[in-house]
Structure 1
Amino acid sequence: MALAIFDLDETLIHGDCASLWSEEMAKLGWVDAESFLDKDRELMALYAEGKLAMEDYMAFSLSPLVGRSAEEVAFVVEPYVEDVIEPLFYSDATRCLATHRQAGDRILIISASAHFLVSAIAARLNVDDVLAIDLELQHGHYSGRTQGVLTYREGKVNRLHTWLQEQGECLDGAYFYSDSRNDLPLLQQVDNPRVVNPDPVLREHAQHANWPILSWR
């Protein structure tokens, strides 16, 4: 048995759940569609270049949730995941998850997206263990602020090591699957890094390091 760790966006799914959620909020009338989605695209371009300050993206993306209850948000997230996200699951990814389950490995999804999105998507994949960006609730309503260490870049490593201690787990023989240069800090921590549909920077690093490069569809 080993730990099989998966990034979510552009690794397990063909898309980014946070940007797709922004589009969903526009459909719901929670944001001004044109200006909000333009800003989302601008920030996500910085993410792709490895230049994004995640604090800036979270402050922006959480602003429409301020004052909304967790129940109200969960009510619209469920159909969003079913209608928008499920069709984007890579079939190769679901087969890989099944292979790890058959081997008795423990599966963990770790993502730089908000926990309420990642956990809902993980549930559809029958994955119980999730590390994602935690959000502050005040009297059951979102404040627009995050909590704790953000699961982004080195923050993924920090959160993972805390989780390992809490769970009595270790990284011996662990796998990590990711598409992004932003996940290099964690890919370098595991015995079995697996690069999935990588961006150019990650592809070059993987080629030099002789890491397996997977093409998932």
Structure 2
Amino acid sequence: MSLWRGRAKEPDLLATIAGEASAEAAFTLEQAQRPAPAVDLTAAAFFDVDNTMMMGASIFHFARGMAARKFFTSSDLAKFALQQVMFRVGGRESQDGIRNARESGLSFVAGHSVAELTALGEEIYDELMADKIWPGTRTLAQMHLDAGQRVWLVTATPVELAAIIARRLGLTGALGTVLESENGIYTGRLVGEMLHGPAKAHAVRALAATEGLDLRRCTAYSDSVNDVPMLSAVGTAVAVNPDSQLRDVAKERGWQVRDFRTGRRAARIGVPSVIGAGAIAGAVAAGLAARRR
């Protein structure tokens, strides 16, 4: 996947590259997993993962699992956490900042094999993720499956991990960040950029072209204002557990809102920086505890 390395680094181009690479990976993984065939071939649903399908951030759950297995030191985990803070707090101001923070944050996979990380993802899903799926969102996904439609996750999480989550939930597949690999070994670099913001919309459009979907008949779900490009790319947009900015956009555009949280928890989760800080604190604590043991 190193063929993109020499290309220009403009934000729009990187988002396009990331989206197309994610769609290609999703299609390949879908064929390998052989999900149940769809009956309604032109309609589908796209679900964000973090705080939409799953409570908290999937990449932090994964990092905690890796820390418990001593794949990196507490200082490595702290560095990863710091990069995520930079992304959460300052990412909106600079597209270069988004890419640099996320790419540095994912550098911990460098040198590990795709097969190894995939096997770990299976274990960590069972340990730290399975009980964090929002039942209400899972029901929405099942509604589309029952209607004979295909359902994909769309997330900044590495595509291999995203595919595990999708398979465990009985979904069609997943669009996720594509990490560069050479001969089955991760380099620690990204293909394009993180699947975030506009890149998600590019991925959805690219997959729709490959799968023959009519985006006007498709539905997208997310909790974050950062996913407005993806939500705007389909015929029906639904804000799930929305942050305050997305709630305002949904009200302005007449989008549906589904909130599966209760009072105080909803208010707390609605602030992106607080989500990031809480997840980071948990990840660092887990890493330190693992190291002490």
Under a length normalisation based on structure 2, what TM-score does the superposition of the two structures give? 0.68
Structure with the bigger RCO (C-alpha within 8 Å, sep 6+) is 2
Deviates more, 1:34-43 or 1:116-125: 34-43
1:128: Cα distance to partner?
Answer: 2.5
2:88 alignment counterpart = 45
CA distance in 2, matches of 1:163, 1:148: 17
The letter for the 1-side match of 2:46 is I
Mapped to 2, the partners of 1:85 and 1:104 lie a distance apart of 26
| 2:68 counterpart of 1:27 | yes
**Which is greater in Rg?**
2
Deviations 1:187-206 (A, max 9, x none): 11222100001111111111
Between Structure 1 and Structure 2, the one with more strand by share is: 1
Which residue of structure 1 lines up, in the alignment, with residue 79 of structure 2? 36
Q: Once the two structures are superposed, what CA deviation does each residue of 1:113-158 show, in whole Å capped at 9, x if it has no partner?
A: 1112111111111112211111111121110011246421111111
- Give 2:161's aligned amino acid: L
Of the candidates 116, 120, 137, which is equivalent to residue 76 of structure 1?
A: 120
Match of 2:58 in 1: 17
1:179-190 to 2 correspondences below 5 Å: 179-190=223-234
- The residue type equivalent to 2:57 in the other structure is D
Higher mean C-alpha deviation, range 155-164 or range 38-47: 38-47
Change (3 A) 1:57 1:81: farther
Contact (CA 8 Å) 1:67, 1:142: kept in 2 or not?
yes
Distance 2:123 2:163 in 1: 14
- Amino acid corresponding to residue 24 of structure 1 in structure 2: G
CA distance in 1 between counterparts of 2:118 and 2:247 reads 36
Q: What does 1:54-65 correspond to in 2, within 5 Å?
A: 54-65=98-109
SS in 2 for 1:183: helix
Counterparts of 1:161 and 1:214, CA distance in 2: 24
Name the structure 1 match of 2:174.
Answer: 130
Give the alignment partner of residue 3 of structure 1, picking from 44, 52, 72.
44
Question: Aligned partners of 2:101, 2:222: CA distance in 1, in Å?
Answer: 20
C-alpha RMSD over aligned residues:
2.0
Contact 1:135 1:146 in 2 (8 A): yes
Where 1:172 maps in the other structure, the secondary structure is: helix
1:156 counterpart (196, 200, 218): 200
Match of 1:43, as an amino acid? Answer: M
Give the Cα separation in 1 of the matches to 2:185 and 2:225: 34
Q: How many residues align?
A: 216
Deviations, residues 51-94 of structure 1 (Å, cap 9, x unaligned): 57442233222222111111221222111011111100111112
* CA apart distance, 1:171: 0.4
Where in structure 1 are there 5+ consecutive unaligned residues? none
Residue 171 of structure 1 pairs with residue 212 of structure 2:
no
Amino acid at match of 1:42: V
What corresponds to 1:66 in structure 2?
110
Counterpart for residue 216 of structure 1: 260
Partner amino acid for 2:123?
P
Contact 2:107 2:188 in 1 (8 A): yes
